[in-house]
Amino acid sequence: MKDVNCAYCMQGELVAKFAYPVCKMDTGFLYVFKEQSHPGRLILAHDKHISEMIELTDEERNAFFADVAKASRAIHKVFHPDKVNYGAYGDTGCHLHMHLVPKYKDQYEWGGTFEMNPGKVTLTDAEYEEIAEKIRQAL
d(CA 6, CA 8): 5
Altogether, the residues listed in the chain come to a count of: 139
**Under the phi-then-psi rule, with left for phi > 0, alpha for psi from -120 to 50, and beta for the rest, what region is 109?**
left
pLDDT in tens, 2-48: 888 889 999 889 999 999 999 999 999 999 999 999 999 999 999 99
Give the H or E element holding residue 83: strand 83-87
Give the DSSP letter string of 8-53.
HHH-SHHHHTTEEEEEE-SSEEEEEES--SSTT-EEEEESS--S-G
pLDDT in tens, 85-119: 999 987 777 899 999 999 999 998 898 888 878 88
d(CA 58, CA 118): 34
Residue 59, pLDDT > 80, answer: yes
Residue 117 pLDDT:
82
